[in-house]
Amino acid sequence: MKTKKINIILLMVLLLTGCHKMRHPSGWLKQSAFQHLSIGMNKQQVIDAISDPDLVRSSVLDKEGNAIEVWEYIVLRGSGWEPAPIEKYWLYFHNDKLVRWGTDEIKNIHEVRFR
């Protein structure tokens, strides 16, 4: 009986310390992670807030020679831990600052003007 209580306590500690993580056990990001983002964050702040991207989609220069980088995250829809449909989120950085994110991909990224 005492061993069972210890195991339950250990399990609760593991669960509680793991609650802050943004990734589902599948490796995909939880949709709630994006609540931690704000415009103007630099890349390291985004990594610290939600995690490394699943893929860097592109890195180009705009017409003025400014760097634009697009990160892709695979995201589980919904808030639970059950398997759910996934979608892709793109984060757009202009000169190392987060300027946009969402599920809509910009096709001609080098032609876009970010202010």
- 2: in domain: no
Both tokens of residue 1?
């009986």
pLDDT on residue 30 = 77
- 13: in domain: no
Contact between residue 91 and residue 73 where contact means Cβ atoms under 8 Å apart: yes
Q: 39 — phi, psi (to 5°)?
A: -60, 140
CATH number reported for the structural domain that contains residue 94 in this entry? 3.30.1450.10
pTM over 0.75: no
- 71: in domain: yes
Name 42's bridge partners: 97
Both tokens of residue 42?
């630099």
Cα angle value 104/47/55 (rounded, 5°): 50
Count of domains forming the chain: 1
Q: DSSP assignment, residue 52?
A: -
Beta strands in 13-85, from DSSP E residues, in sequence order:
29-30, 55-61, 67-76
Sequential pLDDT tens for the chain (115 residues): 666 665 455 444 444 434 344 565 556 777 788 899 999 999 999 999 999 999 998 888 888 888 899 999 988 776 555 656 688 899 999 999 999 998 877 666 655 666 5
Residue with structure tokens 């593991």?
14
Both tokens of residue 14?
């593991």
